Structure 1
Amino acid sequence: MKTLVILAHPHLSDSTVNKAWSLRLHEEQDVTVHDLYSEYPDFKIDMEREQKLLLEHDRIVFQFPFYWYSSPSLLKEWQDEVLAYGWAYGSQGTKLHGKEFMLAVSTGGPEAAYQSGGYNHYSMSELFKPFQAMANLTGMRFLPAFVEHGVRMLDQEQVNESAEALIGHIKKDY
């Protein structure tokens, strides 16, 4: 199975976890890591190139730090540009049908903050609903997300363990 990881981190060089994930993912032969902020610093997305990348892969992963209960802005711009009507959705928009989709997300806050009654009042499952709706609309199968909470508190060994766990999650048969 060929996997495309669409990485969206505006400050990857300053990241600990997302940078470690990216480096580890680059070691996998059947995984393509596509760094949007490196590729499109001007936010001018090449829709045809991106659509071609999607067609060449079976599993699509959005990797990003959780910003204001969603993804960084370039990933949203990517969705707006690439997942076009008539291509990704609509009566003729069937290009992504049958592909698998998952999220790989890091949060600064602890897991307890992301639940009913927690600091943020909602679970990650609830906060991920727009991504699940996107997968549904485009005919992709929404797979369980990989979430690493409290990344600011992780030591290097925990960061390395997280990267290995992400590989296991992304390569798992669902």
Structure 2
Amino acid sequence: MNTLIILAHPDIEQSSINASLKAAVIGEKITLHELYKEYPDWNINVKREQLLLLEHDRIIFQFPNYWYSYPPLLKKWFDDVLERGWAFRGQHALEGKEFGVAISSGFTNEDYRFDGLHRHNLEQILAPFYATCNFIRGKTIPAFKSFEGELVTEEDYENIKILYKQYLNQEFPYHRKVY
């Protein structure tokens, strides 16, 4: 399976989780595409991005939970790249492609419960992503979630890298397809 990771972290050098996940895929047969390095001026090359999507079967968006949403350049990427007539309403260029998320948080999994700090779980926070994938007729795969509040030792970071590589290579038995 041809996998593309679209990494959207505004300051990857200051990241602990996303930098570790990025390091885990270096040398793997995966295309790593860093939006903030590719477009420091925020001028997204839409046709290039669309071609990159067409060349891959599985697209993973890797980013930190950024005020219960995506980092701003990734939001702009969705707005610009998933054009009407190309991704929806007309041509459905991405129909049948697999889409997933590797989302990280500085908190713990326990903080993302109804009775926790955030009052919502990450699946609820990711609802716009799942709705977008459904709208463009993509197949969604479960999210990969990592929590900085649960990563204490070097061994914890090594384990999360192993789990991420397993996630990226996993065959998922079914895909949610609602359209």
**Given residue 102 of structure 1, which amino acid in structure 2 is its aligned partner?**
G
- Give the structure 1 partner of residue 44 of structure 2: 45
2:13 is aligned to: 13
Aligned alpha-carbon RMSD (Å)? 1.1
Q: TM (normalized to structure 2)?
A: 0.93
Which position in structure 1 is the counterpart of 2:156?
Answer: 158
TM-aligned CA deviation for residue 149 of structure 1: 1.4
Unaligned runs of 5+ in 2: 173-179
The answer on whether the counterparts of 2:24 and 2:164 sit within 8 Å (CA) in structure 1 is no
| Distance across 2 between alignment mates of 1:94 and 1:71 | 23
Contact 1:106–1:151 (CA under 8 A) maintained in structure 2: no
Q: What amino acid is aligned across from residue 34 of structure 1 in structure 2?
A: H
CA shift digits 1:20-53 (9 cap, x unpaired): 1112112211x10000000000100000000000
Q: How high is the sequence identity, in percent, across the aligned residues?
A: 40
Give CA deviations for 1:114-142 in whole Å, capped at 9, x if unaligned: 01111100111111100000100111111
Q: Are the structure 2 counterparts of residues 35 and 142 from structure 1 closer, same or farther at C-alpha, using a change threshold of 3 Å?
A: same
C-alpha displacement of 1:155: 2.2
Q: Which stretches of structure 1, 4 residues or more, deviate above 6 A after TM superposition? A: none
Q: Supply the distance in 2 between the matched residues of 1:152 and 1:122 (Cα, whole angstroms).
A: 18
Structure 1 regions of 5+ residues with no counterpart? Answer: none
Match of 2:67? 68
1:123: which partner in 2?
Answer: 121
1:112 aligns with 2:114: no
- The residue type equivalent to 1:169 in the other structure is Y
Distance in 1 (CA, whole Å) between partners of 2:94 and 2:108 is 34
Partner of 2:158, secondary structure, is helix
Q: What is the alpha-carbon distance in structure 2 between the residues aligned to residue 6 and residue 130 of structure 1?
A: 17
The number of residue pairs the alignment matches comes to 172
Q: Provide the C-alpha distance between the structure 1 equivalents of 2:80 and 2:58, rounded to a whole number of angstroms.
A: 20
SS in 2 for 1:27: coil
**Residues 60 and 102 in structure 2, CA contact (< 8 A), matched pair in contact too:** yes
Counterpart residue identity of residue 58, structure 1: D
Distance 1:154 1:70 in 2: 25
- Residue 160 of structure 1 deviates from its aligned partner by 1.6
The corresponding residue for 2:84 is 85
Q: Which amino acid aligns with 1:17?
A: I
Task: Return the TM-score normalized by structure 1.
Answer: 0.95
Partner of 1:55: 54
